[in-house]
Amino acid sequence: MGRSFGFDELLYLLLAIPSTLLLSLGAMIGGGILGLMIAVMRISPYRPLRWFTTGYIELFQGTPVLMQLFVVYYGLAVLFNLQVAPWPAVLLAFTLYSGAFLGEIWRGSIQAIPRPQWEAAECLTLTYPKQLWYVILPQAARISIPPTVGFAVQLIKSTSIASIIGFVELTRAGQLMTNTTFKPMIVYPIVAALYFMLCWPLSLLAQQLERRIDANLGAKRHF
């Protein structure tokens, strides 16, 4: 009955790690660019931009990422007769998803910068984009590092959903190995352990960054 779980099967799981990592990384980069645009539009003086981005964030935060994936994968095919391969489909879906979450995280970080910082920059005759670029965003970036890394951990785990449409990443590789070996109680703990090995260092990094930012502020408070 089936193959035994040996070195080849373990190797197959390990070789699926790059797919999970590349999907996560791609979604972080694409979502990062999208998220930055959303964050900036979300605080824009122009109301239509704020409405649009608020709607976008509500939509993507208020629906399961699985549904978003289905809509991208099947929806494009049905609506536009556009057959998308799994790889671009999952990358697009997770980019849209990450954009909403990162946009909201960064919007909060930007708005945490006190109003007088804007005023001081404005009084030096910097234009609005330069006020953002030189004064607000560098400070907001520091605040946003811990929650951003935290989101990256969430994202790595969420990419397991991509297995549903047949995209072979770590979870899908686990399913395939279970199907051939019939040993889910060996395969899935290993898959879980591999996810843990990806996420744990990032969690540690997030904690350390948080501590370092706290320590910096503490050290600077007294003179």
Partner 1 sequence: MPILALRGISKRFDSHQALDDVSLSIEPGEVVAIIGRSGSGKSTLLRCINGLERPDRGTIEFDGEVFAPTPPRLRALRRHMGIVFQSYNLFPHLSVERNITLGLTAAKGMTAPAAHAVAVKVLQMVDLEDKIKSYPLQLSGGQQQRVAIARALAMEPRLVLFDEVTAALDPELIGEVIRVLDRLAREGMTMVLVTHEMGFATRSARTIIFMHQGRIWEQGPPAQLFGAPRTAELASFINSILPVAPAQNRAQPHSSPIGST
Residues that bind partner 1 in the complex, under the rule CB under 8 A: 116-117, 119-128, 130, 134-135, 138-139, 142, 220-221, 223
> Burial code of 2-11, b = ≥16 C-beta within 10 A, e = fewer?
eeebeeebee
Q: How far is the CB of 156 from partner 1 (least distance, A)?
A: 30
Q: How far is the CB of 210 from partner 1 (least distance, A)?
A: 18
> Burial code of 110-134, b = ≥16 C-beta within 10 A, e = fewer?
beebeeeebeebeeeebeeeebbee
Q: How far is the CB of 123 from partner 1 (least distance, A)?
A: 5
Q: Please enumerate in sequence order all residues whose Cβ is within 8 A of that of 50, keeping only pairs 6 or more positions apart, or say none.
A: 41, 42, 43, 44
Q: How far is the CB of 78 from partner 1 (least distance, A)?
A: 46
Find the distance separating the first CA and the last CA of the chain, reported in whole Å. 73
Q: Which is nearer to partner 1, 83 or 125 (CB)?
A: 125
Q: Which is nearer to partner 1, 85 or 123 (CB)?
A: 123
Structure tokens at 34: 């999208």
Q: Which is nearer to partner 1, 141 or 197 (CB)?
A: 141
Q: How far is the CB of 179 from partner 1 (least distance, A)?
A: 53
Q: Please enumerate in sequence order all residues whose Cβ is within 8 A of that of 210, keeping only pairs 6 or more positions apart, or say none.
A: 146
Q: Please enumerate in sequence order all residues whose Cβ is within 8 A of that of 38, keeping only pairs 6 or more positions apart, or say none.
A: 53, 56, 57, 99, 100, 102, 103, 104, 107
Q: Which is nearer to partner 1, 80 or 223 (CB)?
A: 223
Q: Which is nearer to partner 1, 131 or 171 (CB)?
A: 131
Q: Which is nearer to partner 1, 45 or 62 (CB)?
A: 45
Tokens 């520091």 found at: 142
Q: How far is the CB of 73 from partner 1 (least distance, A)?
A: 43
